[in-house]
Structure 1
Amino acid sequence: MPIKTLAPGIGVSGQVDAASIAAAKAAGFRTIINNRPDREEPGQLSSAELEAQARAAGFDYRHIPVAPGQYDDADIDRFCDAMGGCQGPALAFCKSGMRATSLWALSQAGKLPVDAILRQASACGYDLVPLIPQIEARAKRARD
Protein backbone atom coordinates (compact mmCIF):
# COMPACT_ATOMS: atom_id res chain seq x y z
CA MET A 1 0.00 0.00 0.00
CA PRO A 2 1.93 3.03 -1.20
CA ILE A 3 1.27 6.24 0.73
CA LYS A 4 1.17 9.43 -1.34
CA THR A 5 1.81 12.73 0.41
CA LEU A 6 -0.70 15.37 -0.72
CA ALA A 7 0.57 18.12 1.57
CA PRO A 8 2.34 18.43 4.91
CA GLY A 9 0.31 16.51 7.46
CA ILE A 10 -1.79 14.45 5.02
CA GLY A 11 -1.12 11.29 3.07
CA VAL A 12 -3.53 9.11 1.11
CA SER A 13 -3.60 5.49 0.08
CA GLY A 14 -5.75 2.63 -1.02
CA GLN A 15 -7.17 0.07 1.43
CA VAL A 16 -5.09 -0.47 4.56
CA ASP A 17 -4.51 -3.69 6.47
CA ALA A 18 -2.46 -4.70 9.51
CA ALA A 19 0.84 -4.51 7.59
CA SER A 20 0.09 -1.09 6.15
CA ILE A 21 -1.00 0.21 9.56
CA ALA A 22 2.45 -0.75 10.83
CA ALA A 23 4.07 0.93 7.80
CA ALA A 24 2.02 4.09 8.41
CA LYS A 25 3.15 4.12 12.03
CA ALA A 26 6.79 3.77 10.96
CA ALA A 27 6.29 6.63 8.48
CA GLY A 28 5.17 8.93 11.30
CA PHE A 29 1.41 9.03 10.78
CA ARG A 30 -0.68 9.37 13.94
CA THR A 31 -4.27 9.44 12.65
CA ILE A 32 -6.08 7.14 10.22
CA ILE A 33 -9.17 8.39 8.39
CA ASN A 34 -11.21 5.63 6.73
CA ASN A 35 -13.34 6.89 3.82
CA ARG A 36 -14.75 3.48 2.80
CA PRO A 37 -18.27 2.36 3.66
CA ASP A 38 -18.41 -1.05 5.33
CA ARG A 39 -19.17 -3.98 3.01
CA GLU A 40 -18.16 -2.06 -0.09
CA GLU A 41 -16.60 -5.24 -1.43
CA PRO A 42 -16.32 -8.87 -0.26
CA GLY A 43 -13.52 -9.57 2.20
CA GLN A 44 -13.02 -5.95 3.17
CA LEU A 45 -12.24 -5.44 6.85
CA SER A 46 -14.99 -3.60 8.70
CA SER A 47 -14.40 -0.17 10.13
CA ALA A 48 -14.69 -1.65 13.63
CA GLU A 49 -11.93 -4.18 12.84
CA LEU A 50 -9.69 -1.50 11.34
CA GLU A 51 -10.36 0.83 14.25
CA ALA A 52 -9.33 -1.88 16.73
CA GLN A 53 -6.09 -2.51 14.81
CA ALA A 54 -5.36 1.20 14.45
CA ARG A 55 -6.02 2.02 18.10
CA ALA A 56 -3.93 -0.98 19.21
CA ALA A 57 -1.06 0.53 17.20
CA GLY A 58 -1.55 3.91 18.90
CA PHE A 59 -3.47 5.74 16.17
CA ASP A 60 -6.41 8.07 16.45
CA TYR A 61 -9.08 6.71 14.07
CA ARG A 62 -11.94 8.37 12.20
CA HIS A 63 -14.53 6.77 9.92
CA ILE A 64 -16.03 9.12 7.34
CA PRO A 65 -17.55 6.78 4.74
CA VAL A 66 -18.40 8.23 1.34
CA ALA A 67 -19.54 6.68 -1.93
CA PRO A 68 -17.38 7.40 -4.99
CA GLY A 69 -18.12 10.83 -6.43
CA GLN A 70 -20.61 11.73 -3.70
CA TYR A 71 -19.13 14.38 -1.43
CA ASP A 72 -21.73 16.36 0.47
CA ASP A 73 -20.99 19.31 2.74
CA ALA A 74 -21.53 17.26 5.91
CA ASP A 75 -18.89 14.70 4.84
CA ILE A 76 -16.46 17.45 3.84
CA ASP A 77 -17.02 19.25 7.15
CA ARG A 78 -16.41 16.00 9.05
CA PHE A 79 -13.16 15.55 7.12
CA CYS A 80 -12.15 19.13 7.97
CA ASP A 81 -12.92 18.48 11.64
CA ALA A 82 -10.91 15.25 11.57
CA MET A 83 -7.92 16.99 10.02
CA GLY A 84 -8.18 19.90 12.43
CA GLY A 85 -8.41 17.67 15.48
CA CYS A 86 -5.97 14.93 14.56
CA GLN A 87 -2.93 14.04 16.58
CA GLY A 88 -0.13 14.57 14.08
CA PRO A 89 0.00 13.59 10.41
CA ALA A 90 -3.08 11.82 9.02
CA LEU A 91 -3.37 8.97 6.55
CA ALA A 92 -6.72 9.03 4.75
CA PHE A 93 -7.67 5.98 2.72
CA CYS A 94 -10.36 4.43 0.57
CA LYS A 95 -10.19 1.73 -2.10
CA SER A 96 -7.80 3.62 -4.40
CA GLY A 97 -7.13 6.90 -2.58
CA MET A 98 -9.37 8.93 -4.91
CA ARG A 99 -12.15 9.60 -2.39
CA ALA A 100 -9.62 10.48 0.31
CA THR A 101 -7.89 12.86 -2.11
CA SER A 102 -11.22 14.36 -3.17
CA LEU A 103 -12.25 15.01 0.42
CA TRP A 104 -8.87 16.62 1.11
CA ALA A 105 -9.23 18.79 -2.01
CA LEU A 106 -12.72 19.91 -1.04
CA SER A 107 -11.52 20.60 2.51
CA GLN A 108 -8.90 22.95 1.07
CA ALA A 109 -11.36 24.97 -1.03
CA GLY A 110 -10.99 28.60 -0.03
CA LYS A 111 -7.68 27.90 1.71
CA LEU A 112 -5.57 27.05 -1.33
CA PRO A 113 -5.97 28.20 -4.93
CA VAL A 114 -7.88 25.69 -7.06
CA ASP A 115 -4.92 25.21 -9.41
CA ALA A 116 -2.66 24.39 -6.44
CA ILE A 117 -5.15 21.80 -5.17
CA LEU A 118 -5.33 20.21 -8.63
CA ARG A 119 -1.52 20.20 -9.01
CA GLN A 120 -0.99 18.53 -5.64
CA ALA A 121 -3.58 15.86 -6.41
CA SER A 122 -2.19 15.32 -9.91
CA ALA A 123 1.34 14.93 -8.54
CA CYS A 124 -0.02 11.99 -6.53
CA GLY A 125 -1.75 10.49 -9.56
CA TYR A 126 -5.31 11.75 -8.99
CA ASP A 127 -7.24 13.70 -11.63
CA LEU A 128 -9.66 16.02 -9.86
CA VAL A 129 -10.73 18.06 -12.88
CA PRO A 130 -14.32 16.74 -12.53
CA LEU A 131 -14.40 18.26 -9.01
CA ILE A 132 -13.49 21.79 -10.13
CA PRO A 133 -17.08 23.10 -9.99
CA GLN A 134 -17.58 21.73 -6.46
CA ILE A 135 -14.20 23.02 -5.27
CA GLU A 136 -14.92 26.46 -6.74
CA ALA A 137 -18.41 26.54 -5.19
CA ARG A 138 -17.00 25.69 -1.75
CA ALA A 139 -14.27 28.31 -2.14
CA LYS A 140 -16.89 30.93 -3.06
CA ARG A 141 -18.99 30.03 0.01
CA ALA A 142 -15.87 30.31 2.18
CA ARG A 143 -15.22 33.82 0.83
CA ASP A 144 -18.83 35.04 1.19
Structure 2
Amino acid sequence: MTKPLLRSLLLSASLLCSFPAMAENDSIALNSKLSVAGQMTADKFSALLKQHHFKSVIVNRPDQEQGNAVTVNELRNIAEKSQVSVIYQPVTSGKISQTDIIEFAKYYQELPKPILMVCKSGSRSAALFNQAKAQGLLNE
Protein backbone atom coordinates (compact mmCIF):
# COMPACT_ATOMS: atom_id res chain seq x y z
CA MET A 1 0.00 0.00 0.00
CA THR A 2 1.40 3.43 -0.91
CA LYS A 3 2.03 6.04 1.78
CA PRO A 4 -0.48 8.58 0.35
CA LEU A 5 -3.19 5.91 0.19
CA LEU A 6 -2.42 4.74 3.74
CA ARG A 7 -2.48 8.35 4.96
CA SER A 8 -5.87 8.98 3.34
CA LEU A 9 -7.27 5.75 4.80
CA LEU A 10 -6.09 6.71 8.28
CA LEU A 11 -7.57 10.18 7.87
CA SER A 12 -10.88 8.66 6.83
CA ALA A 13 -10.88 6.25 9.76
CA SER A 14 -10.24 9.05 12.22
CA LEU A 15 -12.96 11.11 10.59
CA LEU A 16 -15.49 8.31 10.96
CA CYS A 17 -14.75 8.12 14.68
CA SER A 18 -14.76 11.85 15.33
CA PHE A 19 -17.32 13.25 12.89
CA PRO A 20 -19.24 15.98 14.75
CA ALA A 21 -22.90 15.46 15.50
CA MET A 22 -25.01 17.60 13.24
CA ALA A 23 -28.38 19.12 13.98
CA GLU A 24 -31.25 17.24 12.39
CA ASN A 25 -31.92 19.88 9.74
CA ASP A 26 -28.37 21.02 9.14
CA SER A 27 -25.26 20.37 7.14
CA ILE A 28 -21.57 20.71 7.95
CA ALA A 29 -19.31 22.78 5.71
CA LEU A 30 -16.02 21.04 4.89
CA ASN A 31 -14.86 24.11 2.97
CA SER A 32 -16.52 27.11 1.32
CA LYS A 33 -17.53 24.97 -1.69
CA LEU A 34 -18.80 21.75 -0.10
CA SER A 35 -21.01 20.64 2.78
CA VAL A 36 -22.19 17.23 3.96
CA ALA A 37 -25.49 16.18 5.47
CA GLY A 38 -26.81 13.00 6.99
CA GLN A 39 -30.18 11.22 7.07
CA MET A 40 -32.36 12.97 4.51
CA THR A 41 -36.08 13.55 4.20
CA ALA A 42 -37.89 15.52 1.52
CA ASP A 43 -38.58 18.39 3.95
CA LYS A 44 -35.00 18.53 5.24
CA PHE A 45 -33.65 18.48 1.68
CA SER A 46 -35.95 21.31 0.57
CA ALA A 47 -34.96 23.38 3.60
CA LEU A 48 -31.22 22.84 3.03
CA LEU A 49 -31.48 23.84 -0.64
CA LYS A 50 -33.40 26.98 0.24
CA GLN A 51 -31.27 27.94 3.24
CA HIS A 52 -27.79 27.36 1.79
CA HIS A 53 -28.42 27.92 -1.95
CA PHE A 54 -26.62 24.75 -3.03
CA LYS A 55 -26.17 24.52 -6.79
CA SER A 56 -25.30 20.79 -6.93
CA VAL A 57 -25.95 17.68 -4.87
CA ILE A 58 -24.06 14.39 -4.75
CA VAL A 59 -26.00 11.54 -3.16
CA ASN A 60 -23.65 8.88 -1.76
CA ARG A 61 -26.29 6.82 0.05
CA PRO A 62 -27.56 3.84 -1.97
CA ASP A 63 -31.35 3.91 -2.42
CA GLN A 64 -31.67 0.36 -1.13
CA GLU A 65 -29.70 0.99 2.09
CA GLN A 66 -31.68 0.09 5.20
CA GLY A 67 -33.40 3.05 6.84
CA ASN A 68 -33.20 5.30 3.78
CA ALA A 69 -36.27 7.54 3.91
CA VAL A 70 -36.04 9.14 0.46
CA THR A 71 -34.79 7.95 -2.93
CA VAL A 72 -32.45 9.82 -5.23
CA ASN A 73 -35.32 10.29 -7.72
CA GLU A 74 -37.39 12.02 -5.03
CA LEU A 75 -34.43 14.27 -4.19
CA ARG A 76 -33.85 14.95 -7.89
CA ASN A 77 -37.51 16.01 -8.34
CA ILE A 78 -37.19 18.47 -5.46
CA ALA A 79 -33.84 19.80 -6.69
CA GLU A 80 -35.03 20.33 -10.27
CA LYS A 81 -37.62 22.81 -9.01
CA SER A 82 -34.70 24.92 -7.76
CA GLN A 83 -32.58 24.22 -10.86
CA VAL A 84 -30.09 22.20 -8.80
CA SER A 85 -28.36 19.21 -10.38
CA VAL A 86 -28.24 15.87 -8.55
CA ILE A 87 -25.55 13.23 -9.10
CA TYR A 88 -26.11 9.72 -7.77
CA GLN A 89 -22.79 8.22 -6.67
CA PRO A 90 -23.77 5.44 -4.27
CA VAL A 91 -20.94 4.30 -2.01
CA THR A 92 -21.16 1.39 0.40
CA SER A 93 -20.34 2.47 3.94
CA GLY A 94 -16.86 1.32 4.93
CA LYS A 95 -15.98 0.28 1.37
CA ILE A 96 -14.82 3.43 -0.38
CA SER A 97 -12.66 2.45 -3.36
CA GLN A 98 -10.04 4.39 -5.27
CA THR A 99 -12.50 4.46 -8.18
CA ASP A 100 -15.08 6.13 -5.89
CA ILE A 101 -12.52 8.75 -4.87
CA ILE A 102 -11.50 9.53 -8.46
CA GLU A 103 -15.16 9.71 -9.57
CA PHE A 104 -15.98 12.10 -6.72
CA ALA A 105 -12.97 14.30 -7.56
CA LYS A 106 -14.23 14.58 -11.15
CA TYR A 107 -17.67 15.67 -9.94
CA TYR A 108 -16.13 18.11 -7.47
CA GLN A 109 -14.10 19.77 -10.23
CA GLU A 110 -16.99 19.98 -12.72
CA LEU A 111 -20.16 20.72 -10.72
CA PRO A 112 -21.38 24.22 -9.93
CA LYS A 113 -20.63 25.19 -6.33
CA PRO A 114 -21.61 25.10 -3.53
CA ILE A 115 -22.13 21.35 -3.42
CA LEU A 116 -24.12 19.35 -0.86
CA MET A 117 -23.12 15.71 -0.33
CA VAL A 118 -25.65 13.36 1.25
CA CYS A 119 -25.30 9.97 2.98
CA LYS A 120 -26.58 8.41 6.21
CA SER A 121 -24.50 10.43 8.68
CA GLY A 122 -22.27 12.58 6.48
CA SER A 123 -19.20 10.44 7.30
CA ARG A 124 -18.75 8.57 4.03
CA SER A 125 -19.27 11.76 2.03
CA ALA A 126 -16.68 13.53 4.18
CA ALA A 127 -14.33 10.57 3.77
CA LEU A 128 -14.61 10.81 -0.04
CA PHE A 129 -13.77 14.50 0.08
CA ASN A 130 -10.89 14.08 2.53
CA GLN A 131 -9.34 11.18 0.64
CA ALA A 132 -9.54 13.05 -2.67
CA LYS A 133 -8.02 16.12 -1.02
CA ALA A 134 -5.24 14.07 0.65
CA GLN A 135 -4.39 12.55 -2.75
CA GLY A 136 -4.15 15.97 -4.40
CA LEU A 137 -7.09 15.30 -6.71
CA LEU A 138 -8.97 18.54 -5.93
CA ASN A 139 -7.92 21.87 -7.42
CA GLU A 140 -8.68 24.30 -4.64
* TM-score category of the 2 structures, normalised to the smaller one: 0.7 to 0.9
Paired residue type of 2:94: G
Q: Does 1:103 align with 2:93?
A: no
C-alpha distance in structure 2 between counterparts of 1:95 and 1:3, whole Å: 12
- The answer to whether structure 1 residue 2 and structure 2 residue 32 are counterparts is no
TM-fit CA distance, 1:42: 4.4
User: Which has the bigger relative contact order, CA under 8 A and spacing at least 6?
Assistant: 2
**Could you tell me which residue of structure 1 aligns to residue 47 of structure 2?**
23
- AA of the residue aligned to 2:46: A
- Equivalent positions of 1:29-40 (< 5 A) are 29-40=54-65
Query: Are the structure 2 counterparts of residues 110 and 73 from structure 1 closer, same or farther at C-alpha, using a change threshold of 3 Å?
Result: closer
Identity percentage over the alignment? Answer: 28
TM-score in terms of structure 1 length: 0.70
1:90 is the counterpart of 2:90: no
Given candidates 73, 77, 100, the residue that maps to 1:52 is 77
Pairwise CA RMSD: 1.7
Count of residue correspondences: 112
Among candidates 86, 93, 113, match of residue 61 of structure 1: 86
Of 106, 109, 133, which residue of structure 2 is paired with 1:81?
106
Distance 1:7 1:43 in 2: 26
Task: Report if aligned partners of 1:11, 1:92 keep a CA contact under 8 Å in 2.
Answer: yes
TM-score by length of 2: 0.72
Spell out structure 1 runs of 4+ moving beyond 6 A: none
Residues 22 and 57 in structure 1, CA contact (< 8 A), matched pair in contact too: no
Equivalent residue for 2:20? none
**CA contact under 8 A between 1:32 and 1:90: conserved in structure 2?**
yes
- How far is 1:43 from its partner? 5.5
